[in-house]
Structure 1
């Protein structure tokens, strides 16, 4: 495998995958949700996203020797099976973490404008402080905001974490960024259900941009009907691509699992798999990430009277995704599921805050804390 041209099967929605991987051999593109064993009969390398379940049923009769997922999460990968068969594996931890953080900040600043509060006057609770939660924590702290964190595995060896029930009772804004796990000492499936939801404050904002089943969606809808002061923002859904239309109706902002769908993050995920395959093949990484990242259409803006929210909206406006998803929710279930996937498949090239240089910044420290770049003077 190390000294011949490879057959590489990749999810068709991985941007720049042909350009990045063509040096290794032939790149074949397929829809990730529809992959079957017959697609893999002569494939050496399989590159997927979170919608493809990679397990014995898919791989048993294939010659695949390397599997990569261009995602942070790995709950769709049977790593025990891969290890038992000597199949190398890599994911892309952190590839879209900044995109998720910026989705969260955009939604929160937009909600603050709608509800008439200053974001700095709220206490933020982050459940799960890994690649995404950790970066969100750092940006919020850089803005001078009060942040509470809960992460039981990390609390075993680090300080500064509090129990989940304490966070839920104290936080005005609760952000969920855990992986989805069903076993082990700290399972996260239905981590937030009836009991936990009963602990949160009446004015709380609950935002899930991690994994849908971390919140019991039935319980969330039930409490939402009783406590009208609660605000829900959901990017992920327990039974996606099926979306509970009644729950969506109760949410302030909804989206089709695209929080991490920045163009930068997608390319970064693909590029991280390129680096991993180079290492597996013991070949040098001859390309750079920047070589595959296009120039932003809006590279620089003068701040002038623009607020932080208005600057954010120059790059990303969550109302677009909210509108697009809600437009599908009256469709029959089979069509709605298909529409959910299409929204992800045909997602626009959304850039990250770092693609925008801000000139004449009134508060440069705040601008940089949010994630924008400061335009060079002169």
Structure 2
């Protein structure tokens, strides 16, 4: 059996070597010749898997180690009898950590009190739903827009117009849908971007084309009151450098790139492939995921809550480092910038997740306890 896999998928040997030969290929280089003799194809979001790629091949199982599936032609898979699986929620915690770190950076720059802001989360699936729980757990005011969930569940959701009118912070976590009544392609176009209330912070860690990048660049030039954080870009790995320079934080699609999330994605696809074969899983993620290098923290009950929140979040992950690395890469020719974008992702340093922390509070502080619990860390 031949397994063709994106070379950047971690733990391939640990999870898949028992099934056959593994051929590692750069994700953007996977083509018809690469997959012609393959039985299994394992990819990430950089590889479009469709009829043009798979027709005439031996591939019967496609796994993507990502939450999103916009790079998969699911209609063709059904027609061709190809089984597929994604990894829902695998990197959700990492993206939440990215958003929290971004909020801390924005607050520091503007001298803002995060507790006094109104937050709008657009898209309440695996990532957005988890972010909502964290923000609400902190006691912050949160509005949620998710039309598909609103249609099936009813209450507790608001319209996108209400988000734009009422929210000081808007964080985008929608899937990318190019067609239909619930299309998210350029969901934030020039008109909606122009309607943002004064001083809005806009964070996009979903998919690049959810925001019209050219329109955002123009709006940011016209309105100095707006602040933007972008982890995803139209036309990746090519980036609008002028837009990146206008952002408070700019990063190369790494919001969910925690070590835990990447390895969890491989594990989930492995589980799905075992089910496809009718076999029991023999390998567990716990066998391979190392202990967190920052595992226990002690806080005194007199600690300032805002300081404690920043310390806990930044002690695990601070997006300013990734922003600095990315900005240094935005030089040279377009081809050099594209290569640098992929290189930053391929050689991304290991990072862990906040919910791996164990926190001891010396003394009694309900406010600190609330913060620890909201972040998903453990009280000891």
Q: TM-score normalised to the size of structure 2?
A: 0.94
Residues in 1 aligned to 2:259 and 2:373: alpha-carbon distance in whole angstroms = 20
Correspondences of 1:1-378 after superposition (within 5 Å): 6-158=1-153, 159-304=155-300, 307-360=308-361, 363-374=368-379, 376=380
CA distance, structure 1, for counterparts of residue 322 and residue 80 of structure 2: 41
Contact (CA 8 Å) 1:150, 1:167: kept in 2 or not?
yes
Contact 1:165/1:199 (<8 A) preserved: no
Deviations 1:49-75 (A, max 9, x none): 000111122112310110000001111
SS of 1:206's partner is: strand
Aligned residue-pair number: 370
CA distance in 1 between counterparts of 2:208 and 2:36 reads 33
Choose 92-101 or 365-374, whichever is displaced more. 365-374
Q: CA deviation at 1:242?
A: 1.1
Superposed CA deviations along residues 227-266 of structure 1, whole A, max 9, x for unmatched, are: 1011100000112111111111111011000001111001
The answer on whether the counterparts of 2:36 and 2:54 sit within 8 Å (CA) in structure 1 is no
Take 1:99 and 1:24, find their aligned partners in 2: how far apart are those partners? 30
C-alpha separation between the residues in 2 aligned to 1:110 and 1:313?
A: 10
Cα RMSD of the aligned pairs, angstroms, is: 1.3
Q: Deviations over 1:66-113 (max 9, x none)?
A: 000000111111111111111110001111111111110111022112
| Conserved? CA contact 1:303–1:311, under 8 Å | no
Shift of 1:10: 1.3
Aligned partners of 1:245, 1:33: CA distance in 2, in Å?
A: 21
1 CA distance for matches of 2:336 and 2:269?
Answer: 33
- Matched-pair contact (CA < 8 Å) for 1:92–1:269: yes
- TM-score normalised per structure 1: 0.95
Q: Greater CA deviation, 174-183 or 19-28?
A: 19-28
Counterparts of 1:60 and 1:303 in 2: how far apart (Å)? 58
- Compute the displacement of 1:114 (Å): 2.0
Q: Which blocks of at least 5 consecutive residues in structure 2 are unaligned?
A: none
Q: Distance in 1 between matches of 2:319 and 2:82?
A: 39
Counterpart secondary structure, 1:8: strand
- Give the Cα–Cα distance (whole angstroms) in 1 for the partners of residues 340 and 196 of structure 2: 33
Distance 2:90 2:15 in 1: 16
How far off its partner does 1:198 sit?
1.9
**Separation in structure 2 between the aligned mates of residue 307 and residue 113 of structure 1, nearest angstrom:** 14
Mapped partners of 1:357, 1:30: distance in 2? 39
Deviations 1:262-307 (A, max 9, x none): 1100111100001101111110123322122111222222235563
